[in-house]
Amino acid sequence: MISGLSQLADNMALNLREFIKSEAFSGVLLICSLFLAVVISNTALYEYYLKFIKLPVCLRIGGFGTTTTFLNLINDGLMTLFFLLIGLEMKYHLVVGEYKERKKLILPTFAAIGGLVIPALIYMYFNHNQITEKGWAIPVATDTAFVLGILSFFARKISLELRLFIIGFSLIDDALAIIILALFYTSAINTAALLIAALVTIALFALNYFKVKEVKYYAILGVLLWIFIVEAGVHGTLAGVILAVFIPVAIEESNASPLKELEANLHPFVNYCILPIFAFINSEIPLKYLTTDVLFSNLGLGIILGLFFGKQVGIFVFSYLVVKLKWCMLPNNTSWSKYYAVCVLGGIGFTLSLFIGGLTFEKQEFINIMRSSVIIASMVSALFGILILKFIK
């Protein structure tokens, strides 16, 4: 009896450890962080929540230092590690992974382009020539962590080829989001700081060229790069992507892989710490803002219809065209109905949509509408996609 209970406890502990390592657990953490923020923002604790996210934080090294808030520390600082992780995953899959053969990128590339163009057009239809038109990029991004977390519950229905397509789609989708950040969310340029950032980038190139395998040297230069990119007026998160480009995938005549080493160290910290904290401090929505006037405003309609309707239509239609033109094929063992379910899940914008929205608006009224719309569109996309996956064969 005792032996049986001990074996049961061991199996439960093993299953729990495996669940914590899965993408599903990361998605669960994000959802819990979201709902916790919404609940707190509608209770007496909201006052303390606002004090917490606006808590002054002093960063100082020697005689140099700056004071910011906890909110900015996460959004402008630690989220750089999220973009670094994205960059590392991109480089690995493109250099030695599934997409080393570039032809396999045709379908995910057109799917990602469709998932950008149609949502942006829908948003602009409602917000053209208005002060809110600068938010056109909010509905163009997909939160792949959420999508993979949901799909992990339908592992038997998702073929390896379809999973690889989703990875390829996320590579292109994230790359397009990064380009948008670089081109459209850059303030006045400080030329001197930008030149120093360029010199740091050259130093990173030298480390890569001479096959330096110690990650700590790349990290030191990465911190310097972030500082001078921020000083230059460019958003600091781009430093993460630039750094990822120069991290070696593998060192010849050695089993060392600085890229995989750094990715393994970053993955749990980003997925189980940074992203849940980001979700918690960026998802506060007083329910008084969830009114028909807010949700049916031009900004609300642009985001909700852009994410829920625009993403699925853009991804599906562009994919259908390139498949019918015989430029590529659907992933093996994937029907159009199953593929459509994945397109619907593409409307889960959440992390990147909130991130871009936070960079777009300063007026609290617009921020509240943006947050409400992103969360509603993402949740509806998730629920609709799950229902399709549940009932298709």
Domain CATH for 311: 1.20.1530.10
| Contact status, residue 92 vs residue 267, Cβ threshold 8 Å | no
Would residue 160 count as lying in a domain?
A: yes
Q: Tell me the residue type at 58.
A: C
Q: Is residue 193 part of a domain?
A: no
**CB–CB of 246/258 below 8 Å?**
no
In a domain, 15, yes or no: no
**Residue 19 banded pLDDT, cuts 50, 70, 90:** very low
- The whole model's pTM is what? 0.80
- Has residue 272 been placed in a domain? yes
Is 75's pLDDT higher than 60?
Answer: yes
Quick check: 277 and 74 in contact, CB under 8 A?
Answer: yes
Average pLDDT over residues 173-186: 82
The arithmetic mean of pLDDT across residues 178-192, rounded, is: 79
Residues 6+ away with beta carbon under 8 Å from 357 = 135, 138, 367, 370, 371, 374
In a domain, 349, yes or no: yes
Collect all residues with Cβ–Cβ distance below 8 Å to 226 and sequence separation of at least 6. Answer: 77, 80, 236, 239, 240
Residue 284 has pLDDT above 90, yes or no: no
State how far the Cα of 314 lies from the Cα of 153, in Å rounded to an integer: 25
The domain in which residue 51 lies consists of 24-185+235-391
If one counts the domains in the chain, the total is 1
What CA–CA distance (Å, rounded) separates 32 from 3? 36
| pLDDT of 13 higher than 60 | no
244 located within any domain? yes
CB 241 within 8 A of CB 87: yes
The CA distances from residue 102 to 7, 91, 95, 109, 392, in Å, are 48, 13, 10, 10, 31
Q: Is the dihedral of CA 77, 82, 88, 90 positive or negative?
A: negative
Q: Considering the domain boundaries, does residue 209 fall inside one?
A: no
- The answer to whether residue 364 is domain-embedded is yes
How far is Cα 184 from Cα 179, in angstroms, rounded to an integer? 8
Q: Is the pLDDT of residue 10 over 80?
A: no
Q: How many helices and strands, by DSSP H and E, does the chain display?
A: 19, 2
Query: pLDDT tens for residues 344-370?
Result: 999 998 888 888 888 888 888 888 889
Residues in CB range of 103: below 8 A, 6 or more apart: 328
